[in-house]
Structure 1
Amino acid sequence: MIILVTILFSIFYLFQINKMTYALCESREIPEEKQPKIYRTVNILITILIVSFFVEILTAVT
């Protein structure tokens, strides 16, 4: 149950971060050519954060 909640939270969190990244790109008027690199960097960093959190939850549960 805890794992399912963690996965759902992670998906929601990733979408919210992408939404905030989009708002950042719009407000700073970042050129279209640089936006994919920004999204990729943010998504990789957030994914690392989520995976480390997931591993911590798994070690705490077991």
Structure 2
Amino acid sequence: MILIVTIIFSLFYLFQINKMTFALCQSREIPEEKQPKIYRTVNILVTILILSLYLEVLLKV
């Protein structure tokens, strides 16, 4: 059950973070060539954050 809730939360959260990253790239006028690197970095960091959250919740239950 915890895994399903975490996956749903993660997908929603990752979608929202990508929307904010897109807005950042647009407002700062970041060149198209640098944008994939920014998205990749943000997505990796958010994935690490979500995994650590899942492990923390899993170990406390």
Structure 2: unaligned runs, 5 residues or longer: none
What's the % identity of the aligned pairs? Answer: 77
Q: What does residue 16 of structure 1 align with?
A: 16
Deviation of 1:57 (Å): 1.1
Q: What does residue 6 of structure 1 align with?
A: 6
Query: Are 1:49 and 2:45 an aligned pair?
Result: no
Could you list the structure 1 runs, at least 4 aligned residues long, displaced by more than 4 angstroms after superposition. none
Structure 1: unaligned runs, 5 residues or longer: none
TM-score w.r.t. length of structure 1: 0.91
Q: What does residue 37 of structure 1 align with?
A: 37
TM-score w.r.t. length of structure 2: 0.93
Q: What does residue 60 of structure 1 align with?
A: 60
Aligned length: 61
Deviation of 1:3 (Å): 2.6
